[in-house]
A and B are shown apart, each in its own frame.
Chain A
Amino acid sequence: MIRFALSLALAVMLALPARAAVDIQQVTSPGGVDAWLVESHEIPFVALEIRFRGGASLDAPDRRGAINLMTALLEEGAGDMDARAFARARDGLAASFGFDVSSDALSVSAKMLTENRDQAVALLRQALVAPRFDPDAIERVRGQVVSGIRSDAKDPNAIASQKFREMAFGTHPYALPISGTEEQVAALTRDDLLAAQARVIARDRLYVSAVGDITAEELGGLLDTLFADLPPTGAPMPGPADYTLGGGVTVVPFDTPQAVAVFGQRGMARDDPDFFAAYVMNQVLGAGGFDSRLMDEVRAKRGLTYGVYSYLYPMDHAALVMGQVASANARIAEAIGVIRAEWLRMADEGVTEKELEAVKTYLTGAYPLRFDGNGPIARIMISMQMEGLGPDYIATRNDKIMAVTLEDVRRVAHELLTPEALHFVVVGRPQGLETTN
């Protein structure tokens, strides 16, 4: 046993973390569109990630749900093709386009084969610059969106998350579901969708990354084809979201055997100088898979849940520390008690020297493993751009983790975590829990 442990320790100490060998080129197209590129010619395809900052938060105040419905319709007919012709053309090229929207961005994820890339790009261009919003397509997709809204209304996870955001963010767009309500979606017109498109899909909020079998020069042409005809500006970004929720418990009665709890409090911005200390702290608290304090105390020691976790959630206009747990109605109160105690312990004591070292070894060792394919690298690069990081971040990120001290974590845990401000939204029939205030 001892010999085994010793040899493991040696293995940890002797091997330095692998370095991520990623050569990022910053490309500007002849037409002035910026992108990040990693050339990788082993496999004959390119992965493309596109973001338009603002996403569903750019909905006009009385048109909630318009940007979500518009996004779902981008591939439902464009140019001279109706929905079915567009799908046939895309499938005939074996290209894949994924359109999605969140509170902070509209995203397009595309994969295209080298052999027919020009045709695939031409097709994607149609979806971005000339979506048709045909009346029959609007009605078909509207029906799907409404079906999703109704499903969310019966899903304890969705109910809990939505209730938390609604209580946390008052009148800011963050408080509202991005799909809108059934009534709002029913009222949307084709003109609303055209207006929604103009609010989001514009050059002044565009970010692009490309990884794979493509050169910088080829990418320049691709960028101009896709984006040169987009409008230069879109709608202004919303202002900061004031966090208005105090500590406590809110119970949403719902008949289901296992209660779901979403919990959170005010968080830390991504560009805060203490962000890395907070990140390391949360890794110990609740992000560390099987190894975190929350998993250890709530699952491994007490068997109260299958999964519990916490995470830093910095958004463009607010920042939270969030978490989630699910336990049988009879046991959720105990799980919440344990989570509160761990929140308090971390705020009071921070982490131990041993925990800090283990987390640093993990985070620095795991980082280079993320860069293991065209798709993953493209997604990492687009996140870096959205977060305002430079290409050199990859080379310095592990140094920033290593520079975090025990005292940094103690101070930041004490400042950031406020157990009395932690709020739990519980969906189910929890025993021994009632809404506070």
Chain B
Amino acid sequence: MPLIRYTLALMALMVLPARADTVTDFTLDNGMQVVVIEDHRAPVVVHMVWYRVGAADEPAGHSGIAHFLEHLMFKGTDEVGPGELSEIVQANGGSDNAFTSWDYTAYFQRVAADRLGLMMKLEADRMADLRLAPEDVETERDVILEERNQRTENSAGALFSEQSRAAQYLNHPYGIPIIGWKHKMQTLSKADALAFYRTYYAPNNAVLVVAGDVTPDGVRDLAEQYYGVLAPSADLPVRARPQEPPQLAERRLTFDDPRVAQPYVMRTYLAPERDPGGQETAAALTYLAELLGGEGATSFLGEKLQFENQTALYTSAFYDGLSLDDTTFGVVAVPAPGVTLQGVETALDDALQSFLETGVDPVLFASLKAQLGAAEIYARDNIQGLARRYGQALTSGLTVADVQAWPEVLQAVTPQDVMAAARMVLNRDHAVTGWLERPQADVVEVTQ
């Protein structure tokens, strides 16, 4: 009876096309790419500069230098003192921060729209004129070590993910943590940071994204004034990281930690990413993740493991196609009380096999397609999210056209595409299967 009602609802749901008319892009003479996203609902602007460099571009043996440099970028220039940039942003009612990933490093401010020129002046200044005092470098190294303590060392799950990722990539630097291996972080120097800065921080290696209450002409004038005068780098390295060889054998690991409260199984498979002009496979994998492990009450793994045989408390599948090189497709299963990790892994594999045999539920597929269309409507409420979408894509090898085509590529996916992608990606020779658990001695103690 409910089935009929929601099928009608699906038919009524119109999928609106993404509105590309609010986005403008152009390139300055020095090679700096600019994207402007207009939203005039509030007098706010988000100003972001994204560099096409991240942890996967680090020189061998210097893991963590991209992220360390991101911290040091707040330590002053020839014109602005240490910490002063953030003070100026705050004095103007704004907030600022930065983030580093394997493929990009980005700096942003959120501020009243009439302060955009000032933000550009500050950001252009530190693109060219970073000045580092030795004592600031020493102190900030302690800060990033405490950041690693907080994010990774204090979390059994984070350590487990780090080990798992290192096993996933045999040759590509995606296997090295963004924040760096601890013993390498302890050796990072001012000279390392400045060498990385001089190599990669230049207008022709940067993307400016401005979103909010602005016009393309207004942004262009300011960008030419502040960024346009910077000299491009003549010798930017070609962005070619060591690629993966054929992966021929599944890797398995068991991570024991007394801090584990809830054991679980995680498996990641090497998977293709979104490529310029070729996003179809990634789009199919996006559906596959949702169909297998999106909403627990309707996904395939949720139905099988949480509702039918009740071997799992929780299941999930994840995939993010925004990546310059090969990414991963992952599944997670948290065993129900009384079920072993082997038991839930077997149930997981049985369910995956069953999915490959039975195929896509057409009603669920249609519902997902409509939801992905609606997500574009909801996404327009968040200018910072839209700005991130462009910045991330343009530093991960994609073009503005690819970003704008993505919603249509998603709408064009068929159930056959999804099954073809599933058969391609769910190959255990390309996978890492990990168990996170308490040490056996502990388990004996707490068994009821």
Also in contact, A303 and B118, with CB within 8 A (given A4-B79, A375-B381): no
B89-97, B322-330, B414-422: which lies at the interface: B89-97
Determine whether the beta carbon of A18 is less than 8 Å from that of B112.
Answer: yes
Also in contact, A258 and B258, with CB within 8 A (given A362-B93, A368-B43): no
Q: Which residues of B contact A358 (CB under 8 A)?
A: 87, 90-91
B143-151, B236-244, B388-396: which lies at the interface: B143-151
Determine whether the beta carbon of B371 is less than 8 Å from that of A258.
Answer: no
Our pick among A89, A290, A306 for the contact of B74 (Cβ within 8 Å) is A290
Q: Which residues of B contact A113 (CB under 8 A)?
A: 13, 374, 377
Determine whether the beta carbon of B112 is less than 8 Å from that of A369.
Answer: yes
Determine whether the beta carbon of B87 is less than 8 Å from that of A291.
Answer: yes
Determine whether the beta carbon of B298 is less than 8 Å from that of A289.
Answer: no
A257-300: contact bitstring with B at CB < 8 Å (1 yes, 0 no)?
A: 11010000000000000000000000000001111000010011
> Is B140 interfacial (CB-CB < 8 Å)?
yes
Q: Which residues of B contact A258 (CB under 8 A)?
A: 146, 149-150, 153-154
Q: Which residues of B contact A156 (CB under 8 A)?
A: 154
CA distance A67 to B4 in the complex (A): 33
Determine whether the beta carbon of A115 is less than 8 Å from that of B13.
Answer: yes
Determine whether the beta carbon of B381 is less than 8 Å from that of A92.
Answer: no
B202-210, B259-267, B280-288, B344-352: which lies at the interface: B259-267
Also in contact, A116 and B9, with CB within 8 A (given A88-B2, A91-B295, A365-B94): yes
Also in contact, A44 and B377, with CB within 8 A (given A12-B92, A291-B90, A362-B90): yes
Q: How far is the CB of B261 from chain A (nearest CB, A)?
A: 4
> Is A208 interfacial (CB-CB < 8 Å)?
no
> Is A102 interfacial (CB-CB < 8 Å)?
no
Q: How far is the CB of B191 from chain A (nearest CB, A)?
A: 19
Q: How far is the CB of B96 from chain A (nearest CB, A)?
A: 8
Residue of B nearest to A377 (CB): B42
Our pick among A76, A144, A256, A372 for the contact of B313 (Cβ within 8 Å) is A144
> Is B289 interfacial (CB-CB < 8 Å)?
no
Determine whether the beta carbon of A84 is less than 8 Å from that of B146.
Answer: no
> Is A111 interfacial (CB-CB < 8 Å)?
yes
Our pick among A116, A147, A363 for the contact of B12 (Cβ within 8 Å) is A116
Determine whether the beta carbon of A290 is less than 8 Å from that of B383.
Answer: no
Tell me the B328-376 residues at the A interface (CB within 8 Å).
Answer: 334, 336-337, 363-364, 367-368, 370-371, 373-375
CA distance A70 to B368 in the complex (A): 28
Determine whether the beta carbon of B13 is less than 8 Å from that of A306.
Answer: no
Q: Which residues of B contact A91 (CB under 8 A)?
A: 295, 298, 367-368, 371
B1-40: contact bitstring with A at CB < 8 Å (1 yes, 0 no)?
A: 1110111011011101000000000000000000000000
Also in contact, A372 and B150, with CB within 8 A (given A91-B295, A147-B313): no
> Is B110 interfacial (CB-CB < 8 Å)?
yes
Instruction: Kindly name the residue among A76, A94, A289 whose own CB sees the greatest number of chain B CB atoms within 10 A.
Output: A94
Determine whether the beta carbon of A256 is less than 8 Å from that of B9.
Answer: no
Tell me the B285-318 residues at the A interface (CB within 8 Å).
Answer: 295-298, 303, 306-307, 310, 313-314
Our pick among A18, A140, A257 for the contact of B149 (Cβ within 8 Å) is A257
Also in contact, A289 and B86, with CB within 8 A (given A150-B262, A365-B93, A375-B381): yes
Our pick among B110, B114, B156 for the contact of A15 (Cβ within 8 Å) is B114
Residue of B nearest to A307 (CB): B150
> Is B83 interfacial (CB-CB < 8 Å)?
yes
> Is B410 interfacial (CB-CB < 8 Å)?
no
Q: How far is the CB of B447 from chain A (nearest CB, A)?
A: 14
> Is B139 interfacial (CB-CB < 8 Å)?
yes
CA distance A92 to B13 in the complex (A): 8
CA distance A372 to B110 in the complex (A): 11
> Is A383 interfacial (CB-CB < 8 Å)?
no
Our pick among B12, B42, B94, B95 for the contact of A371 (Cβ within 8 Å) is B42
Determine whether the beta carbon of B118 is less than 8 Å from that of A92.
Answer: no
> Is B115 interfacial (CB-CB < 8 Å)?
yes
> Is B380 interfacial (CB-CB < 8 Å)?
yes
Tell me the B93-139 residues at the A interface (CB within 8 Å).
Answer: 93-95, 110-115, 118, 138-139
> Is A403 interfacial (CB-CB < 8 Å)?
no
> Is B413 interfacial (CB-CB < 8 Å)?
no
Q: How far is the CB of B22 from chain A (nearest CB, A)?
A: 11
Residue of A nearest to B157 (CB): A151
CA distance A328 to B145 in the complex (A): 9
Chain A residues near B (Cβ < 8 Å): 1, 4, 8, 11-12, 15, 17-18, 20-21, 40, 42-45, 47, 76, 80-81, 83-89, 91-94, 96, 111, 113, 115-116, 119, 140, 143-144, 146-147, 150-156, 255-258, 260, 288-291, 296, 299-307, 326-328, 358, 361-369, 371-375
Counting from the closest, the 5 A-B pairs by CB-CB distance are: A365-B93, A303-B142, A94-B374, A87-B297, A258-B149
18 interchain pairs, CB-CB under 8 A = A1-B78, A1-B79, A15-B114, A15-B115, A84-B307, A91-B368, A92-B9, A92-B10, A93-B6, A116-B13, A144-B313, A256-B154, A291-B90, A299-B143, A306-B150, A361-B93, A373-B383, A375-B381
Chain B residues near A (Cβ < 8 Å): 1-3, 5-7, 9-10, 12-14, 16, 41-44, 74, 78-80, 82-83, 86-88, 90-95, 110-115, 118, 138-147, 149-150, 153-154, 156, 212, 258-262, 295-298, 303, 306-307, 310, 313-314, 334, 336-337, 363-364, 367-368, 370-371, 373-375, 377-378, 380-383
